[in-house]
Structure 1
Amino acid sequence: MDDQQWFAEQFAQHRPRLRSVAYRLLGSPTEVDDALQEAWLRTTRADPATITNPVAWLTTLVGRVCIDMLRARQARREFFGATWEPLVSEYGDPEAASLHTDAVGIALLVVLDSLEPGERLAVVLHDMFGMPFEQVAAVVGRTPAATRQLASRARRRLREHASQPGAGLPAQRRVVDAFLAAARAGDFDALLALLDPDVVFRADHGRRARLAPAVLTGAHAVAARAADAGPRFARLCAPALVNGLAGVVARDRSGRLVAVVGVAIRGDRIAAIDLILDPDKLPSGPMVGSAPHHQILDSFR
C-alpha cells in the first residue's frame, strides 16, 4: 500500500469525527469542506512512518487548519453577522440523522463564535473530543499551562451564556409548536408562559438592513415582539430540525428558505431564540413552501 492510499483509508475511516471537530470549530458546512480538503492536501507532505496514532494525528492536522482559518476570519471580520451556518432538515427526513451528526445547538454556536480562536480550539478539542492539553497546546502554539487557561476562560463563557436543551426532541417540538400557535394568534399571555424569564432573542441580518431588533432580552420584551410580528411571520413557518434541535423554517413558494429559527429550551421553556435572515447563511436546497419572499420581509417591518 502506498502512502496516499494509506492516508486515504485513514481519512475515510475517521471522516465523521474530523467533520464534527471542524464544524464545532468553524460552524460552517462550506468551511468544513474547505478545511477537510486542505487537511487532505497537507497529508501529501507527511510521512506515515512517523505516525503512531492516526486519529490523533488527523485531528491535530484538522485543528491546525481550522485555527488558521479562524485567525484569518478574525482578521477580516466586519460588522455584519456571525460566521456560522445552521444545519436544517425536515422532520422525518431519512438523511436528517447524518446531517445533524456534526451539529451543536445554535445558542452554543453563538457563544463559541464569540471566543478567541485559541479559546475555541482549546475547549472544543479538549472538552468535546478528549484531546490532551499537550496535543492541543501544539495546535494553539501555547504551553500546556497556557492552553488550560484558554479552555478555562472558554468554559466560563459557555456556562454564562450557553443554554443546553433540557428535554428530548418530542418535548422540544411540543414547546416549539405551542410557541408557533401562540405567535400566530398574537397571544401575549400564552407566549409569556412559554418563555424563560431571562430569554434572549437574537436576529442575524448579515449585510441586509435590520428588519427586526438585533437583540431582545427578557420574557416580556420577547413575548411582546412575538405577539406583534407573529400573526404575520408565524403563519409562514413550519417546524424543522435546526442543528439537531426542534426549530422553525420560513419558506417561499419556490421552496427557498428565507429564514431559520433556532430554539434552545431549558426545562419546558424557551431560553434562546436565534432568527437567521442572512441569505449567505441559509441552506439552498429545494423545499416546499407557501409564501413569497417579500411577505417574509414585510412581516418584520
Structure 2
Amino acid sequence: MTNHAGPGHDRSDTGLSAIISERSQLINLAYRLLGSLAEAEDAVQETYTRWYAMSPQQRDAIASPGAWLTTVATRICLDLLGSARARREAYVGEWIPEPLPGRTEWTSGATADPADRVTMDESVSMAFLIALESMTPAQRVALILHDVFRYSFAEIAEITGRTPAACRELASQARRRLRTSRPQAAPAAHQAGLVRDFKQAWEAKDIRTLIGLLDPGATLTADGGGLVRAALRPIEGGERIARYIVDIAGRAPDNRTILERTVNGQPGLTIQQEGVTVAVYAFDIAHDRITHIWAVRNPDKLRPWTAG
C-alpha cells in the first residue's frame, strides 16, 4: 500500500514502537468514520487486540503492518456503523457527533495519550460529520479513505472487499450527497466574527440582533442524550431559535459563562458552570448568516472538554 501516514509508515520494523506509531493515524481514521472519539478508541483498541492475538511468526509475515492495521480498523468501523444506525434510531432525542476541542485546548487528562487527539481540518467539522450521517457505511468509508486519507481505489477495494470501480462509484455518490447538503462554507475569520457577535447578542439577550445573525431557515439541533434537558426535535427558523436561546439565557444560573472555543476545527462556543463545560455549540455559516447550530449537552460526549 501507498504511504499514507508520512515518513516511517512502511518501516520493516514490526516492533512495539513501529506498531504503536500507527495509533494516531488509526484514531484519526476511526473518528471520521464513526463520529465518536469513544467509539474510535474502542475500535483502535480492538484492532491492536487482534494484532497481538496473532503469533510472532504470523505478525512477522505481514509485509506492511500499517496497511494491516488500517484494513482491520476500517472493517471494525464498518461493522460498528452498521449497528450504530439502529442504536441511534433508539437514541433519546437527536444524535450529534461527539464534539472535539482544538488541539491546544484539550483539558489536561482528557486523554492519556496525545496520539488520541484528532487532527483538525475540514473533514472533522461538525457540518461535514453530520453530512456523513446521511450516507451508507460503504459510501462513508470510500469517501474518507480516498478524499481525506488519499488511498487509491485499488487499495480501498482491498480493504473493503469490493472492486475498485464499485469503490469509485461509492465515493462519487458520497460527494454528490455532500454537495447537496452543504453550501460553500464561509472563511474562518468571517465565521469567528459571526460567532463572536452571536455570543455577545446571546449574553445581552438581544433577540433582534440574534435574528439578524441567523438565516431565516436556520436549524438548531440539541443533543442531551436523554440525560439532560434538551430540545427533543430540531428547532427551525431564525426567530424561533433566537427566542429559544434567549429563554435559555433567562433561566441560566448566575455562574454560567459563555466562552469562544474551537469546536471540531471551527469557531464555536462552550458553556461553563463553575469552570466545568456543560455544553458545546458548533456552527455552520453560509452567505453571511448562521445556518445550523448543534448544541451538545450529553455529558458522555463532553469528556475531552471536562476530564482533568
TM-score (norm 1): 0.79
Alignment partner of 1:30 is 2:38: yes
Distance, in Å, in 2 between the alignment partners of 1:69 and 1:132 is 23
* Shift, 1:176, TM fit: 1.2
Distance 1:91 1:269 in 2: 28
In structure 2, the CA distance between the partners of 1:242 and 1:185, relative to structure 1 (3 Å rule), is: same
Q: In the alignment, what sits opposite 1:115?
A: 135
Task: Measure the CA separation in 1 of the matches of 2:73 and 2:105.
Answer: 32
Aligned position for 2:214: 195
Q: Deviations over 1:9-46 (max 9, x none)?
A: 33333333222111101122222221111111222335
Choose from 82, 88, 98 the match for 1:85.
Answer: 98
1:275 is paired with a residue whose SS is strand
**Alpha-carbon spacing, 1:89–1:150, altered in 2? closer, same or farther (3 Å):** closer
- One-letter amino acid of the structure 2 residue matched with residue 20 of structure 1: N
Shift of 1:116: 2.1
Q: 1:211 aligns with which of 211, 216, 230?
A: 230
Displacement, 1:148?
Answer: 2.7
How far 1:262 moved relative to its partner? 0.9
Deviation at 1:281, TM superposition (A): 1.6
Distance across 2 between alignment mates of 1:16 and 1:259: 27
State the Cα distance separating 1:277 from its structure 2 match.
1.8
Deviation at 1:274, TM superposition (A): 0.1
Give structure 1 stretches of 5+ with no counterpart: 289-301
Mapped to 2, the partners of 1:92 and 1:285 lie a distance apart of 8
Q: Which has the higher contact order (CA 8 A, sep 6+)?
A: 2
**Which of these residues, 66, 80, 86, is aligned with residue 77 of structure 2?**
66
SS in 2 for 1:180: helix
- 1:151 is aligned to 2:180: no
Deviation at 1:203, TM superposition (A): 1.2
Counterpart residue number, 2:261: 240
Give a deviation string over 1:39-86, Cα, whole Å, max 9, x none. 1122233544342x5544432222112112222323444233426311
1:252 matched to 2:252? The reply is no
2:153 is aligned, of 120, 124, 133, to 133
Residue among 291, 297, 302 paired with 1:277: 297
Who is 2:7 aligned against? none
Query: Counterpart of 1:41 in 2: which secondary structure?
Result: helix
Query: Would the alpha carbon gap of residues 40 and 249 (structure 1) be closer, same or farther in structure 2, given more than 3 Å must change?
Result: same
Displacement after TM superposition at 1:217 (Å): 3.0
For 2:95, give the aligned amino acid: A
Q: CA deviation at 1:266?
A: 2.7
Q: Which one has the bigger helix percentage? A: 1
Secondary structure of 1:6's counterpart equals: coil
SS class of match (2:133): helix
1:286 positional shift: 4.6
Cα distance per residue 1:236-261 (max 9 Å; x no partner):
422122112111111222x3322111
8 Å CA contact retained: 1:23, 1:102 = no
For 1:84, give the aligned amino acid.
P
Q: CA RMSD in A?
A: 3.4
Q: Which of 223-232 and 200-209 deviates more? A: 223-232
Cα 1:196–1:271, aligned 2, differ >3 Å: closer, same or farther?
same
Q: Is the 8 A contact 1:249 1:259 kept in 2?
A: yes
Q: How does 1:36-51 map to 2 (within 5 A)?
A: 36-44=44-52, 45=54, 46-51=58-63
Give the AA of the match of 1:222.
I
| Amino acid corresponding to residue 145 of structure 2 in structure 1 | L
Against the structure 1 CA distance between its residues 163 and 38, is the aligned structure 2 distance closer, same or farther, given a 3 Å change threshold?
farther
Is 1:17 equivalent to 2:25 in the alignment?
A: yes
- Which SS does the other structure have where 1:135 is aligned? helix
Distance across 1 between alignment mates of 2:105 and 2:96: 28
Letter in structure 2 aligned against 1:244: G
In 2, Cα distance between the equivalents of 1:171 and 1:280?
A: 31
Q: Identity over aligned residues, as a percent?
A: 37
Letter paired with 1:37: Q
Name the count of aligned residue pairs: 283
1:11–1:166 distance in 2 versus 1, CA, 3 Å:
farther
Structure 1 counterpart of 2:159, which letter?
V
* Secondary structure at the counterpart of residue 290 of structure 2: strand
SS of match in other structure, 2:21: helix
Gap regions ≥5 residues in structure 2: 1-11
**Equivalent residue of 1:111, what SS?**
helix
**Partner of 1:239: helix, strand, or coil?**
strand
